[in-house]
Homo-oligomer: A and B are copies of this chain.
Amino acid sequence: MPELRQNLATKQWVIIAAERAGRPQQFLEPYRPLTEEHPEHDPSCPFCPGNEELESEIVRVTIGEKWQVRVVYNKYPALHKEGERIRSFDGVHRRISGVGHHEVVIESPRHNLCPALDTPENLSVTLQTMQSRCRELTEDPRVEHIICFQNHGEHAGTSLLHPHSQIIALPVVPYEVRMRAEEARRYFDDTGVCVFCQMLHDELQAGERIIAENASFVAFVLYAALSPFHIWILPRRHEASFLHASPTELADLGEILRYVLRKLYYGLRDPDYNYVIRTAPLRDPSHEYLHWYVTVVPRVTRAAGFELGSGMFINTALPEDSAAFLRSVRDT
């Protein structure tokens, strides 16, 4: 019999209908080794060394004479960095001028490097660079919320192979982010406990959905995973904002994120995926009830009319099976 499960923090329901499908192997991608199919350097790639003039640079991290990570302005930004934030409300016409920031973090000079195969140190440098960009963007009084994310592969929404992630700084707190904060506040009101700390405690006790742990983080498949291998990487220390993560935590995040990405890479043959850093709205002082984390979503299924009409998902994999499968995968 299928079962409906609810995420304790977000209150979203999901239908777990594992009998509709088979074993975790059903999600295996055809094998496609990036390093063999693509060159280490592509002269036509705007992110490759030699083309640094093509994109306007914001920050560069170097080792010796070579750059390791660069942050550039997105050439086709979703928001403009110049201009005033103007709200206007006239009947159905509710709008805000599209000001904000849209930056690209180029994670390596190497064109065909799959993030899963990066070194933990490099990944930590990327995360540190993201954090320092977020801190600087906070100085802009027009910015209310920041989303840091990576799209890997075409089904995850990118056509550029060169490893990169993106930062979008918004002039508004998205509705969904506000609702999640609201639910977390309600839980805190009722119990005096951060709902994410509670989930971490419960998941550690249950054990069966854990994929990895280190000194600062726990990675697990969600009890109410919206899709197969839907993963959260939660910091053990209660902290609302990614901007306040310590250098040690960022190093530990680089290590565990790489481990999780490698499990997906070797277990599912380099699936397309998105990861997102979910952090508190910038102007929200609610340190007691919010908790930042990273969510990783391999794009192995597709949302259809039911998902569109209900906001619910149908997950054809049992989260406990997904976790056991990932635990069993060798990460080399």
Contact = CB atoms under 8 A, between A and B. Distances in A.
Interface of A: 1-6, 8, 10-13, 15-17, 20, 76-80, 83, 91-99, 145, 147-151, 155-158, 166, 168, 170-172, 174-177, 179, 198-199, 202-203, 205-206, 223-224, 274-278, 295, 297, 302-306, 308-312, 314
Contact of A166 (B2, B176, B305): B305
A179 B177 contact: no
A97 B155 CA distance: 32
Given A6-B95, A16-B98, 12 more contacts: A1-B80, A4-B96, A10-B175, A12-B176, A15-B78, A17-B77, A92-B202, A149-B304, A151-B304, A176-B310, A176-B311, A177-B311
Contact of A4 (B95, B148, B199, B276): B95
Contacts of A76: 20
Contacts of A311: 174-177
A202 B89 CA distance: 13
A157 B303 contact: yes
A304 to B, nearest CB: 3
Nearest to A157: B304
Contacts of A277: 309
B98 A15 contact: yes
A311 B20 CA distance: 28
Contact of A308 (B172, B295, B304): B295
Given A155-B302, A158-B304, A304-B274, A78 B168 contact: no
A8 to B, nearest CB: 5
Nearest to A11: B175
A199 B98 contact: no
Contacts of A224: 94
Contacts of A310: 145, 147, 168, 170, 174, 176-177
B92 A203 contact: yes
A1 B94 contact: no
Contacts of A198: 91-92
A284 to B, nearest CB: 15
A2 B79 contact: yes
A160 B288 CA distance: 49
A199 B17 contact: no
B157 A305 contact: yes
A206 B92 contact: yes
Nearest to A307: B157
Given A20-B78, A157-B304, A198-B92, A149 B1 contact: no
